[in-house]
């Protein structure tokens, strides 16, 4: 297959070890009038269109006109396995209740748990596949996908199996995370220690034994799991070969970022209330900050992650949707880039680096995707935009016109 476009090509291909931080987040490599040759699921060449056409023959030539071409987007933090939506809570918040108040009254994550438990694995698989269509149509070709609305061994396994089935049956790539430590379920509210013990003694070993997740995550937050509890859960996960990501310091600063550094997490996420020490520790340990500006926007939180400061301190930043039924109900990384630019004071180039190269790093996939480069996976998108700065500047509509995933036209 050959793809050509007269428009801008964002290859994001300067070589660098590790995730991009500081000034390197602003380095975009742009070219014009390129074409790209694909064999199977790999990019085999990329150069001026006329050269590609003199070197390769193909019976499948895609002419993307004046579209801007870039690597498929990577969303490194999503919660796509849920049954019921929670638009009632959105309205309650808009009329004055807070996210934490709703959660402590039994709504929030616990209401999603009650509904997910009534769903079958097949029902969840179908829902996840429908949601996967949504991601692909918005230019996202790889997602990290968490469980976390089951909170019993059987319901967490059911959720992770639904992710695996969707992954096998759908073009979108899923990288599963076990998030049994998302909340204390109703039946353990009076005995949280027993739930933590269940996570450590039964759930994590069961997930690892069936190879159901690559990562383990914990919601480390004042009203959910303490730093000490999170440390125990994540240590057990590490012992079972899972890699670590953490929901850290979203609403209150409790030392989640520091814990991410201490434990060698791939990523610490949210960070709305991160401390000075947390920023330093993450930089020194090389933990990527995955910021979720859609969530602080959707919850209308006054406290937002200090995105500009995080980049200027030398911490690599990624961006994600946090797609979930409660705190952020969007699948659009374009919308997320717009909010990030406005609320963090960052450039289009920084936002683009955050949803490609750096997002790939948090998933241990940077050798394979996140750039248009020979040898990388043939995941690419064509966007109706004249230049890179236009991408976060447009918002509220879908600018994606073409999607190729693993060398196949999917959207």
Tell me which residues touch ligand NIG (CB under 6 A). 79, 108-109, 112, 219, 247, 250, 295, 322, 324-327
What are the helix (H) ranges across 95-170?
A: 99-104, 109-116, 121-137, 153-169
DSSP 306: -
Distance CA 295, CA 325 (A): 11
Q: Least Å distance between CB 112 and ligand NIG?
A: 5
Closer by beta carbon to ligand NIG, 79 or else 361? 79
Q: Are 80 and 149 in contact (CB under 8 A)?
A: no
With tokens 């990288």, the residue in question is 175
Tokens of 332: 């659009």
Residue 299 Cβ vs ligand NIG, minimum distance, rounded to whole Å = 8
Token pair, residue 348, equals 């289009």
What number of chain residues touch Fe ion (CB under 5 A)?
1
CA distance 204 to 396: 40
46 vs 244, which CB is nearer to ligand NIG?
A: 244
Q: Rank residues 253 and 327 by Cβ distance to ligand NIG and give the closer one.
A: 327
Q: Applying CB under 5 A, which part among 11-19, 23-31, 314-322, 351-359 lies near Fe ion?
A: 314-322
Nearer to Fe ion, 9 or 298 (CB): 298
Q: How far is the CB of 320 from ligand NIG (least distance, A)?
A: 9
| Shortest separation between residue 111's beta carbon and ligand NIG, angstroms | 8
Nearer to Fe ion, 74 or 349 (CB): 74
Nearest approach, Cβ of 74 to ligand NIG (angstroms)? 17
- Mark 322-361 with x for binding to Fe ion (rule: CB under 5 A) and - for no binding: x---------------------------------------
121 within 8 A of 54, measured Cβ to Cβ: no
Least distance from ligand NIG to the Cβ atom of residue 304, Å = 14
Please compute, for residue 163, the number of CA atoms within 13 A of its CA located in the half-sphere on the CB side: 30
Residue 158 interacts with, from Fe ion, ligand NIG, none (CB under 5-8 Å by kind): none
The residue (of 181 and 360) whose beta carbon lies closer to ligand NIG is 181
Nearest to ligand NIG of 249, 384 (CB atom)? 249
Q: Which does 327 bind (CB under 5 to 8 A by kind): ligand NIG, Fe ion, none?
A: ligand NIG
First to last CA, the chain: 16
Instruction: Annotate 15-63 with three-state secondary structure.
Output: CCCCCCCHHHHHCCCEEECEEEEEECCEEEEEEEHHHHHHHCCCCCEEE
* Assigned token pair, 216: 């383990």
Instruction: For residues 374 and 42, give the distance between their C-alpha atoms in angstroms, rounded to a whole number.
Output: 8
User: Token digits for 147?
Assistant: 């469980």
281 binds Fe ion (CB under 5 A): no
Site of interaction with Fe ion (CB under 5 A): 322
């Amino acid at each position: 297959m050959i793809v050509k476009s007269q428009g801008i090509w964002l290859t994001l291909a300067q070589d660098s070890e590790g995730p991009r931080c500081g000034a390197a987040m602003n380095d975009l490599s742009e070219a014009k009038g390129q074409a790209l040759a694909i064999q199977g699921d790999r990019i085999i060449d990329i150069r001026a269109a006329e050269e590609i056409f003199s070197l390769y023959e193909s019976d499948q030539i895609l002419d993307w006109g004046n579209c801007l071409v870039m690597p498929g987007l990577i969303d490194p933090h999503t919660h796509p396995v849920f049954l019921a939506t929670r638009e009632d809570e959105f309205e309650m918040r808009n009329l004055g209740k807070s996210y934490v108040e709703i959660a402590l009254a039994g709504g929030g994550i616990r209401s999603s748990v009650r509904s997910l438990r009534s769903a079958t694995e097949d029902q969840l698989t179908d829902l996840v596949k429908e949601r996967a269509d949504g991601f692909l149509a918005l230019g996202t070709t790889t997602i990290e996908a968490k469980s976390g609305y089951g909170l019993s061994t059987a319901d967490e396994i059911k959720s992770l199996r639904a992710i695996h089935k969707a992954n096998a049956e759908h073009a979108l790539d899923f990288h599963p995370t076990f998030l049994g430590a998302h909340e204390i379920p109703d039946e353990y509210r009076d005995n949280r220690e027993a739930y933590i013990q269940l996570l450590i003694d039964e759930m994590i070993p069961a997930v690892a034994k069936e190879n159901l997740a690559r990562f383990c995550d914990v919601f480390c937050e004042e009203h959910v799991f303490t730093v000490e509890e999170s440390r125990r859960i994540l240590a057990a996960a590490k012992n079972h070969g899972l890699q670590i990501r953490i929901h850290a310091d979203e609403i209150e600063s409790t030392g989640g970022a520091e814990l991410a550094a201490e434990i060698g997490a791939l990523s610490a996420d949210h960070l709305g209330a991160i401390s000075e020490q947390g920023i330093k520790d993450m930089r020194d340990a090389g933990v990527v900050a995955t910021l979720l500006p859609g969530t602080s926007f959707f919850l209308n939180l006054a406290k937002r992650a200090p995105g500009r400061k995080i980049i200027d301190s030398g911490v690599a930043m990624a961006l994600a949707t946090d797609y979930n039924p409660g705190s952020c109900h969007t699948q659009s990384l374009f919308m997320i880039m717009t909010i990030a630019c406005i609320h963090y004071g960052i450039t289009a180039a920084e936002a683009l680096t955050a949803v490609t190269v750096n997002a790939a790093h948090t998933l241990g996939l940077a050798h394979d995707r996140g750039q248009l480069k020979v040898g990388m996976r043939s995941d690419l998108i064509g966007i109706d935009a004249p230049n890179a700065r236009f991408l976060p500047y447009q918002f509220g509509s879908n600018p994606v016109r073409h999607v190729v995933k693993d060398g196949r036209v999917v959207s």
